[in-house]
Each structure stands twice: as C-alpha cells, then as structure tokens.
Amino acid sequence: MTDPSIPGADGAYNPEPSRPSRRLTRSSSDKMLGGVAGGIAEYFGVDSTWVRVAFVASIILPGPQVLLYLLLWIIIPKS
C-alpha cells in the first residue's frame, strides 16, 4: 500500500523536473565592446558571431539599433 503523504508515491503528483534557471547577463569572457552580444548568444545557446552579424546587418535598416544596444548595455547586468 502506498503512503499518500509521499508526493509521487501513488503516481498522481508528478512535477516537472527542475531546470536550471537562465539569466540574461552581459558576457565577461566573450565581449568586443560591452558583452551584450556575447550575453545574448549565451542565453539563447548560439554562437556570438551570429548575434553580432545580425546586429551589423540590422544597422542598414532604419531604427534605433545603436540606442537599443546602449540601453541593453545599461540594463543587462554583468556576469
């Protein structure tokens, strides 16, 4: 007989396995200017070169890309 006070003993309580929490931080090891691109790449699990290429490519589009980078530099904490 199963003990109802033990979670999962009767199969009714099955929580999701705990995953390590991810935090967006500026990279201190993979940085060229402020570590924003390196931190974003680490967060999403991609190569930082692709993040940098996407940022440089977005410069040709109208918009506040440089201001956004500076804002992220200020907002995202350093690792």
The 10s digit of each residue's pLDDT in 1-30 is: 556 566 655 555 556 666 677 899 999 999
Beta strands (DSSP E) in the chain are none
Nearest CA to 76 among 26, 17, 19? 26
Supply 76's token pair: 């995202």
User: Tell me: the pLDDT tens digits for 64-74?
Assistant: 999 999 999 99
CB count in 10 Å sphere of residue 67:
9
Spatial CA neighbour of 68 closest among 29, 31, 34: 34
Instruction: Work out the pLDDT band at 79, boundaries 50, 70, 90.
Output: confident
